[in-house]
Amino acid sequence: MNFILSDVQNGVMTLTLNRPERLNSFNDEMHRQLAEVLTQAERDESIRCLLITGAGRGFCAGQDLNDRNVDPSGDAPDLGASVENFYNPLVKRLAKLPKPVIAAVNGVAAGAGATLALGCDIVIAARSVNFVMSFSKLGLVPDCGGTWYLPRLAGHARAMGLALMGDKLSAEQALQWGMIWQVVDDEALNDTARQLATHFASQPTFGLGLVKKALFASETNTLDAQLDLERDYQRMAGRSEDYREGVSAFLAKRPAVFKGK
Amino acid sequence: MNELLISQNDRVLTLTLNRPQARNALNNALLEHIAQALESAQHDESVGAVVLTGNERFFAAGADLKEMANRDMPATLNDPRPQLWARIERFNKPLLAAVNGYALGAGCELAMLCDIVLAGDNARFGLPEITLGIMPGAGGTQRLIRSVGKALAYKMVLTGEAISAEQAQLAGLVAEVCPQALTLEYTKKLAARIAQHAPLALQAAKTALRQAHELSLSQGLQHERQLFTLLAATEDRQEGIAAFLEKRPAAFKGR
């Protein structure tokens, strides 16, 4: 069964979470397939942008509870195992991927599905979508990066409210709070996301990768350390082919043709 | 193919491990090359400091297992390897390591033998010998614990698991973490800064620092003072202090 559809076109790899009858919730096999496809995204230099979306009416409903050991009379399950083996590597790999990652949130994003979406570099949501931090209602903790991304995206107070109450957050509200990049009408989602992804795939990918790395590093760096890092990255960016191309194109008043190197 | 590339820029000599097909595994021949290069650098007045490096993915991924597999106990007893390591360690000028990628087993031991390690953000340090049914045999258990302390040293040696550059820096194994693409450049810059200082002062300071792990504090202090006194008899000391007072760059002669 193909739980992850992947399609590469014009430098964009589109990953579609594909268990529509279960709102694309994760089971172990889906995680394994996703991990495999991510390896391709990491290795293939011709892929310069990653677009993640869901099949059917949901984006991702998080962990499929049917797939976990929830026998109330049995031994306590080790939920940390799936977090360690699947969710944590996934979040780290997306954050480390030196190319833009776009989430096109087409439908409900709940639990790990919501935190997964919020962890992408650019989040575009359909207007009818809700993000649901459902963890706390089951006695659990937001995983898949939730407790790290939420306070950074929404601020402490809103992160607390969202994570402790576990209620729905509309796409509009998420946009107003600055947690996501854009909200579009449902029927425009696909085109908007695709257009942006195609644009990114023509941009100076090496430089974009450094920008992404620098922004992540800023979460833990002091100003001094971050200034040093900017110096280092600028040094590297200045040696890229795309920077030379950008400058020549600017001076020659022609459009630049970036190779991503 | 030349398994050790040697190049010199001003007063900095760079030795590049170059066995990419073997992940820069340190066989006896390569250690011999390193030892020889350092011995001739020691007698070369134009060399102020040496940088040891590998490639972007591997500093050195260990010893040569094929070579090692053929050695039984008697052969291991009379192994020339400890002598090779001792010759490398005897080098008395500043020795810097620029580590990108894996520094495992003997590679990690070689990095730890260097005076200063700069690491690329992709670097990994580890002593996986235990996973092969052996243990570190070239300073791994001794130098590691002296730099990172008991907790991490035992964990690394007994699990065989590697640590990241960042962790290695926090633990004191690595002086600085750089973006991988800049590691070698920054290490050479640092080596160049060091190499402009008075050669005899560098040599004396290095000797004193090494003694810190050999002697008790009071013996070490005594030894430090002797070396300090020795420098008082050098021309470069006069030059160094005079240049500072006259606000000009010093011109050291190594005397």
- DSSP string across chain A: --SEEEEEETTEEEEEE--GGGTT-B-HHHHHHHHHHHHHHHH-TT--EEEEEESTTEEE-SB-GGGS---TTSPPP-HHHHIIIIIHHHHHHHHH-SS-EEEEE-SEEETHHHHHHHTSSEEEEETT-EEE-GGGGGT---TTTHHHHHHHHH-HHHHHHHHHH--EEEHHHHHHTTSSSEEE-GGGHHHHHHHHHHHHTTS-HHHHHHHHHHHHHHTT--HHHHHHHHHHHHHHHHTSHHHHHHHHHHHTTS-------
Residues A235, B182: C-beta atoms closer than 8 Å: yes
Q: Which residue of A has its CA nearest to B179?
A: A232
Q: What is the pLDDT of residue A70?
A: 66
What's the Cα-to-Cα distance from A17 to each of A96, A111, A142, B92, rounded to whole Å?
A: 20, 15, 20, 60
Is residue A225 within 8 angstroms of chain B, CB to CB?
no
Q: By percentage, how much of chain A surpasses pLDDT 70?
A: 99
Q: Tell me the pairing of strands B163-164 and B176-178.
A: unpaired
Q: Tell me the pairing of strands A130-132 and A168-170.
A: antiparallel
Contacts of B178 in chain A (CB under 8 A): 232
Q: What is the pLDDT of residue A214?
A: 98
Residue pair A113/A24 in contact (Cβ under 8 Å)? The answer is yes
Residues B178, A235: C-beta atoms closer than 8 Å: no
Q: What is the pLDDT of residue B124?
A: 98
Residues B178, A233: C-beta atoms closer than 8 Å: no
Nearest-CA neighbor of B42 among B2, B87, B5, B82?
B87
Contacts of A240 in chain B (CB under 8 A): none
Residue pair A124/A196 in contact (Cβ under 8 Å)? The answer is yes
Q: How many CB pairs under 8 A join A and B?
A: 9
How close is the nearest chain A Cα to the Cα of B164, in Å? 15
Q: Report ipTM for this prediction.
A: 0.80
Mutation test of the interface with chain B: which of A235, A240, A243, choosing the one with the most B Cβ atoms within 10 A? A235
Is residue A84 within 8 angstroms of chain B, CB to CB?
no
| Per-residue pLDDT tens over the stretch A48-96 | 999 999 999 999 999 998 876 667 777 888 899 999 999 999 999 999 9
Report the alpha-carbon angle B135-B138-B142, nearest 5. Answer: 80
Is residue A181 within 8 angstroms of chain B, CB to CB?
no
Q: Average pLDDT, stretch B74-101?
A: 94
Q: What is the pLDDT of residue A1?
A: 79
Is residue B179 within 8 angstroms of chain A, CB to CB?
yes
Nearest-CA neighbor of B190 among B128, B91, B82, B118?
B118
Contacts of A232 in chain B (CB under 8 A): 178-179, 182
Is residue B145 within 8 angstroms of chain A, CB to CB?
no
Distance CA A39, CA B65 (A): 29
Which residue's entry shows tokens 């193919």? B1
Residues A236, B178: C-beta atoms closer than 8 Å: no
Q: What is the pLDDT of residue B1?
A: 62
Q: Average pLDDT, stretch B207-236?
A: 94
Residue pair B139/B85 in contact (Cβ under 8 Å)? The answer is yes
| Per-residue pLDDT tens over the stretch A150-196 | 999 999 999 999 999 999 999 999 999 999 999 999 999 999 999 99
Contacts of A235 in chain B (CB under 8 A): 182
Phi, psi of B107 (to 5 degrees): -65, -40
Q: What is the pLDDT of residue B5?
A: 97
pLDDT of B109 strictly over 80: yes
Is residue B181 within 8 angstroms of chain A, CB to CB?
yes
Q: What is the pLDDT of residue A261?
A: 92
The structure's pTM equals: 0.87
Distance CA B239, CA A83 (A): 63
